[in-house]
Amino acid sequence: MARARLVTGGFAEYQPGVGRQSADVQVRPGVLRDLDACAELIVSRTGGSAAERRERLVADLANPERYIAVAVVDDEVVGYGGVIRHELSPDDPPKTAPSGYYLIGLIVSPDWRRHGIGELLTRDRIRWTAERADAVYYFANQANSAILDLNQQFGFTEVTRDFTFPRAPLEPGTCVLLRAGLNDR
């Protein structure tokens, strides 16, 4: 099995052309028992405290404007992705990303990459968002070719590279904001 390795920037090395492997993957809404595994996946990429991350995930579960999707193989959580609702505040800087739903935090366990799990999680998060909105956004590091290529197949197009997002540690000039309309799905 080809294994992806982490590179600077916290996302997996992109390996276009590496064939997908089949697996029996279930994608479903996350529940309380999934949150320890989700927190571990998140901190494996971003660092920090799994306990603090779990607390935030518990709050996400209780918020109807947020969604947690998990990918499960044999009762093991092997992938996570979220959706949040962002609302502009009058105090936000002028170049703050627009109000709307945002795909966030797509993470697949290194042993389970190249199984189509990222695509399944993205499809599920878009389905959830389409029940609530006409568009969905996401932002990514410009160097993260894997996520940019993945989301292109869902009709995402670039909005800007000159933006901020509250509480996101974006370095100027490194990220791109994208949007996909959901009316035609």
For residue 114, give the CATH number of its domain. 3.40.630.30
Residue 1 resides in a domain: no
Residue 54's SS3 state is helix
Q: What is the model's pTM?
A: 0.85
* Mean pLDDT (the chain, rounded): 87
CA-to-CA distance for 103 and 147, rounded, in angstroms?
11
pLDDT at 22: 55
Q: Would the CA dihedral through 151, 137, 140, 108 be positive or negative?
A: negative
Residue 6 resides in a domain: no
Residue 76's SS3 state is strand
pLDDT at 150: 87
In degrees and rounded to multiples of 5, residue 132 shows phi and psi of -125, -20
Residue 8 resides in a domain: no
Residue 11 resides in a domain: no
Number of domains into which the chain is organized: 1
CA-to-CA distance for 12 and 185, rounded, in angstroms?
29
Residue 67 resides in a domain: yes
Residue 7 resides in a domain: no
* Range of the structural domain that residue 140 is part of: 26-181
Please, which pLDDT band fits residue 129 given cuts at 50, 70 and 90? very high
Residue 4 resides in a domain: no
The Cα angle at residue 175 between residues 79 and 101, in degrees rounded to 5: 60
Over the stretch 46-102, which tens digit does the pLDDT of each residue have? 899 999 999 999 999 999 999 999 999 999 999 999 999 999 999 998 999 999 999
Residue 70 resides in a domain: yes
Over the stretch 106-126, which tens digit does the pLDDT of each residue have? 999 998 988 889 999 999 999
